[in-house]
Chain A
Amino acid sequence: KQEVTQIPAALSVPEGENLVLNCSFTDSAIYNLQWFRQDPGKGLTSLLLIQSSQREQTSGRLNASLDKSSGRSTLYIAASQPGDSATYLCAVTPGNQFYFGTGTSLTVIP
């Protein structure tokens, strides 16, 4: 069964710092990996989706990479802002069902 792990579980950084969130998964047979943001009491917001044939995706200050063979993905956030404070989830799918990590709770301190 696919297991998804995210490290660290929580992270607190001063505003302006660049940071990296890590995601690892046990089964490399995935079709895509997706990063989500979840604000307290809110739903999921999709940030980036990486197809299994891709190595990375970028959107604004966010860059996600995928190394399928090693079962790893990273989410890089440049020049962090207080508004980036949220829980970040990564999820992988072999096609239909998503397997989610437990998330990294990020706090950006003004």
Chain B
Amino acid sequence: DAKTTQPPSMDCAEGRAANLPCNHSTISGNEYVYWYRQIHSQGPQYIIHGLKNNETNEMASLIITEDRKSSTLILPHATLRDTAVYYCIVRVATDSWGKLQFGAGTQVVVTP
């Protein structure tokens, strides 16, 4: 069963913020939310992860709702190079050494 639900696609204008939603209504207390992205013809790339607090790094920000049933990945100033498939993954904290379970992701297209 899918643990996360993402829209199949979304467009974003270059220079604007891209807000990517993810629903994970069955998330458990010991599960983290991870985001990876995959640019065409490349392997996936780690972006960010969090448990319940909002997180920010040089690539993006992660906003997790208080009930933890959904989250939003924010790319603050989208560029053409941000065009990729973005995957939201829920994962048990103690299983951080194990596999990643990818869904279909969201195809983000950044347009000039």
The answer to whether A and B assemble together is no
Q: Which residues of B contact A (CB under 8 A)?
A: none
